[in-house]
A and B are shown apart, each in its own frame.
Chain A
Amino acid sequence: MRASERTLTVIDQRSGRTQELFRLLVENVIDYAIFMLDPGGRVTTWNPGAERLKGYTPDEIIGRHFSAFYTPADVAAGKPERGLRTALAEGRFEDDGWRVRKDGTLFWANVIITAIHDETGEHRGFAKITRDLTERRRAEGERIKLAQAEEAVRLRDEFLSIAGHELRTPLNALLLHSANLALLLRRGDADASSLLDKAASVTNQGHRLNELIERLLDVTRLSSGSLPIAPETVDLVSVVKEVIATYQPQAEQANSPLRLTAPECVSGIWDPLRLGQIVANLLSNALKHGGGKPVDLSVDTDGAVVRIAVRDYGVGIPREQQNRIFERFERGGAPRSDGGLGLGLYVVRCLAEVHHGTVTVESDLGKGSTFTVSLPLGSSGAEEGRSPEEYNG
Chain B
Amino acid sequence: MTEANEENVLIVEDDPETAKALAEYLNSQGYRSMIATNGQEAIDVLRAGERPCLILLDIMMPVKNGWDFRDEMLNEPELASIPVVVVTADISAVTRAMRLRLPLLKKPIDPGRLMTEVARHC
**Which A residues contact B (CB, under 8 angstroms)?**
161, 164-165, 168-177, 179-180, 183-184, 187, 198, 201, 204-205, 208, 335-339
Report the nearest B residue to A180, measured CB to CB: B25
Docked complex Cα distance between A25 and B25 (Å) = 86
A205 x B17 contact (CB < 8 A): yes
A177 x B107 contact (CB < 8 A): no
Docked complex Cα distance between A367 and B17 (Å) = 32
B25 surroundings in chain A (CB, below 8 A): 176, 179-180, 183
Task: Report B43-75 CB contacts with A as 1/0, cut-off 8 Å.
Answer: 000000000000000001110010000000000
A170 touches which of B17, B60, B61, B111 (Cβ 8 Å): B17
A173 x B28 contact (CB < 8 A): no
Q: How many whole Å from B118's CB to the nearest CB in chain A? A: 13
B21 x A161 contact (CB < 8 A): no
B17 x A165 contact (CB < 8 A): no
B14 x A172 contact (CB < 8 A): no
> Is B77 an interface residue when CB atoms closer than 8 A count as contact?
no
Docked complex Cα distance between A165 and B92 (Å) = 11
* Chain B: number of interface residues, binned into ranges: 20 to 34
B61 x A172 contact (CB < 8 A): no
Report the nearest A residue to B88, measured CB to CB: A165
> Is B5 an interface residue when CB atoms closer than 8 A count as contact?
no
With contacts A201-B21, A337-B62, A337-B65 known, is A176 near B109, CB below 8 A? yes
B29 x A183 contact (CB < 8 A): yes
B28 x A172 contact (CB < 8 A): no
A-B contact pairs, 17 of them (CB 8 A): A168-B89, A172-B89, A172-B108, A173-B17, A173-B20, A176-B21, A176-B108, A176-B109, A177-B24, A179-B111, A187-B28, A205-B21, A208-B17, A337-B14, A337-B62, A338-B62, A339-B15
Q: How many whole Å from A165's CB to the nearest CB in chain B? A: 5
A183 surroundings in chain B (CB, below 8 A): 25, 28-29
Q: How many whole Å from B92's CB to the nearest CB in chain A? A: 7
With contacts A180-B21, A184-B28 known, is A173 near B62, CB below 8 A? no
The 7 A-B pairs of least Cβ separation, nearest first, read: A176-B21, A168-B89, A337-B60, A173-B17, A179-B111, A172-B107, A172-B108
B89 x A165 contact (CB < 8 A): yes
A175 touches which of B20, B24, B90, B108 (Cβ 8 Å): B108
> Is B22 an interface residue when CB atoms closer than 8 A count as contact?
yes
B108 x A171 contact (CB < 8 A): yes
Docked complex Cα distance between A204 and B18 (Å) = 12
B65 surroundings in chain A (CB, below 8 A): 337
Report the nearest A residue to B17, measured CB to CB: A173
Report the nearest A residue to B29, measured CB to CB: A183
Docked complex Cα distance between A75 and B15 (Å) = 66
Docked complex Cα distance between A161 and B14 (Å) = 18
Q: How many whole Å from B79's CB to the nearest CB in chain A? A: 22
Identify 10 new A-B residue pairs, CB closer than 8 A, beyond the known A171-B107, A177-B21.
A161-B92, A165-B89, A169-B17, A172-B107, A175-B109, A176-B22, A176-B111, A198-B24, A201-B20, A339-B62
Task: Report B3-28 CB contacts with A as 1/0, cut-off 8 Å.
Answer: 00000000000110110111011001
B29 surroundings in chain A (CB, below 8 A): 183
Report the nearest A residue to B25, measured CB to CB: A180
With contacts A208-B17, A339-B14 known, is A180 near B61, CB below 8 A? no
Q: How many whole Å from A344's CB to the nearest CB in chain B? A: 16
Q: How many whole Å from B30's CB to the nearest CB in chain A? A: 11
Q: How many whole Å from B100's CB to the nearest CB in chain A? A: 19
Report the nearest B residue to A169, measured CB to CB: B15
Report the nearest A residue to B62, measured CB to CB: A337
B89 surroundings in chain A (CB, below 8 A): 164-165, 168-169, 172
Report the nearest B residue to A197, measured CB to CB: B24
Docked complex Cα distance between A324 and B96 (Å) = 31
Docked complex Cα distance between A368 and B65 (Å) = 24
A180 touches which of B14, B24, B60, B90 (Cβ 8 Å): B24
A337 surroundings in chain B (CB, below 8 A): 14, 60-62, 65
B90 x A173 contact (CB < 8 A): no
